[in-house]
Amino acid sequence: MNALYRGKKILMISASFFGYEKEIRQKLESFGCEVDYFDERPENDFLTKSLIRVNRKLLAPKNNAYYNNIIEKTKHRNYDFIFVIKGEVISNVHIERLRQAHKQAKFILYLWDALNYSPNSKVIKNSFDAVYTFDKSDAEQYGDMQFRPLFFIDEYRKSAETKVIQDIDVLFIGTVHTDRFSVLKRIERQLKEKNLNFYFYHYYPSKKLYYLKRLGDRDIRKYGKAELKYDKLSKEEITQLFNRSRVIADIERPKQNGLTMRTIEVFGAHKKLITTNESIKNYDLYNAENMSIIDRHAPVIDPLFIYQEYVKPPEEVYEKYSLDDWLHEIFFGKKHSIHSMMRVK
């Protein structure tokens, strides 16, 4: 497989997303690629993130200066691929200027957010040669988008092979948004009633954003200050908590059908899953013995499910959701990488 990548030059533009962009870059470099990475956002401060969500036009001068600098710095690099993940800031004008500078490059866009939550992606997607989305319903609705679920990184493969004492029955680690807190509170009540151990890590991006959102968001006002965490957990801290847990809970956004990154990580770590996402039944990784689907409005937690043994998936299905296979399909359209098929054999 590495022969396909060796020597390829890639310009990667991605929003910072819990370090996954670094994992992708490092994996591509391990295959022999030359990768120039730029954050998609001109800055990751509170004001910039807020304006992106509220009114991108107010950021136009800063965005133009930022992308003009990227284009100028990289215009002589002769890239083979321009790879954009998410696409919440970059404009069609910037994409066209990059295309003029790198006429031989293939332009790829990957969306790990539903179009409902990423309006700019809908505007720019026609400027790319290939567009992939993690959301099956978006792929079905838009004929110019290909469906490709997310991936698990190698850390979770290692977690699957680690055996430690499991003192947490149900674990949740995630960002608080939409109705997630209310759903988690309902789950928490069930767990307490059934004397099950749990650990919930409610992450929120910043205290400033929390106080701003409190002004108009009734659900946010339900949070107590002590229940929110403003520090991101490292991948090592997350996998250590995974190792100690029997079951991981995941709550998707109400208007989202794609499987979250957490869902795929749970699968990669050979852990059992409690999820509100009914669409998981339509995926080849689904196994009712490992995955319990609950109603977000009236969740019911079954202790028998938590304590029954995990059933390992077929190796080929498992490898399909690895970062290796994800990259191979995104860049070369291969459903299964040579690397993973070698492991299957």
Q: Which two tokens stand for residue 124?
A: 């720019």
* Residue 338 pLDDT: 44
Q: Is 50 exposed, middle or buried (0-12, 13-18, 19+ CB in 10 A)?
A: middle
Q: Is the pLDDT assigned to residue 73 strictly greater than 90?
A: yes
Q: Is the pLDDT assigned to residue 39 strictly greater than 90?
A: yes
* Residue 257 pLDDT: 78
Q: Is the pLDDT assigned to residue 6 strictly greater than 90?
A: yes
Compute the mean pLDDT over every residue in the chain, rounded to the nearest whole number: 88
Q: Which strands make up the sheet holding 106-111, listed edge to edge?
A: 34-39, 9-14, 81-85, 106-111, 130-133, 146-147
129-187 confidence digits (pLDDT tens): 999 999 999 999 998 899 999 999 999 999 999 989 999 999 999 988 778 888 998 99
Mean pLDDT of 91-96: 96
Choose between 245 and 54: higher pLDDT.
245
Domain with CATH 3.40.50.2300 in the chain: 2-150+331-344
* Residue 47 pLDDT: 62
CA distance 269 to 158: 7
Superfamily per CATH, domain 154-318? Glycogen Phosphorylase B; (3.40.50.2000)
Q: Is 308 left (phi over 0), alpha (psi -120 to 50) or beta?
A: beta
* Residue 56 pLDDT: 67
225-246 confidence digits (pLDDT tens): 667 888 889 888 999 999 999 9
Tell me if 39 sits within 8 A of 172, measured CB to CB: no
Q: Is the pLDDT assigned to residue 216 strictly greater than 50?
A: yes
253-299 confidence digits (pLDDT tens): 877 778 999 999 999 999 999 999 999 999 999 999 999 999 999 99
* Residue 21 pLDDT: 95
Among the listed residues 120, 116, 119, 115, the one whose alpha carbon sits nearest the alpha carbon of residue 94: 120
Strands 146-147 and 228-229: unpaired
Other CB atoms within 10 A of residue 248 CB: 24
* Residue 69 pLDDT: 96
Percentage with pLDDT > 70 across the chain: 88
Among the listed residues 343, 97, 152, 176, the one whose alpha carbon sits nearest the alpha carbon of residue 262: 152
Q: Is the pLDDT assigned to residue 220 strictly greater than 80?
A: no
Domain with CATH 3.40.50.2000 in the chain: 154-318
* Residue 344 pLDDT: 39
Confidence of residue 345 (pLDDT cuts 50, 70, 90): very low
* Residue 342 pLDDT: 41
Q: Which two tokens stand for residue 272?
A: 């059992």
Least confident of 195-204, 252-261, 274-283, 312-321: 252-261
pTM passes above 0.85: yes
DSSP state of 269: T
Choose between 41 and 312: higher pLDDT.
312
CA angle 308, 313, 316 (to 5 degrees): 175
Tell me if 308 sits within 8 A of 136, measured CB to CB: no
CA distance 128 to 290: 38
Choose between 88 and 312: higher pLDDT.
312
Residues with Cβ within 8 Å of residue 67, at least 6 apart in sequence: 90, 91, 94, 97
User: Class of the 2-150+331-344 domain?
Assistant: alpha beta
